[in-house]
Amino acid sequence: MQTYARLLLNPGEILRIDGDETLELVCENGEFWITGNSGVDHHLHPGDSAACARGRIVLEGNGTLLLRPLVCHSNSHSRWRRRGTLSRLSLRPTQPRTQKGN
């Protein structure tokens, strides 16, 4: 059995995810901006996906996002496969940053 999380974000919401494993994030609908622990940014549209290493992930957007765990094949650094369970995931809403003077 595979476990996953499906998140719904509304415009202006920002979410911080602290994960214990590498995650695949799949945009089901809407649009998302994601910054992974490594500082790599992703811009996802419907059907797009991104792999983010374990640790902190910050996402902003509007729509539905699917999160599921990934592990690397032992014989390849560039191929990923899904793992059956999502171990620990900490989700925290964050406040949007305001520009100076606001």
DSSP per-residue letters across 65-102: EEEEEEEE-TT-SS-EEE-S----EEEEEEPPP--TT-
Mean pLDDT confidence for 66-94: 60
According to CATH, the superfamily of the domain at 5-87 is Jelly Rolls (2.60.120.10)
| pLDDT tens for each residue of 45-55 | 999 999 988 88
pLDDT at residue 82 is higher than 60 = no
For the chain, which residues make up each domain, given as ranges?
5-87
pLDDT band at 64 (very low <50, low <70, confident <90, very high): very high
**CA 12 – CA 10 distance, rounded (Å):** 6
Mean pLDDT confidence for 54-69: 91
The pLDDT of residue 102 is: 47
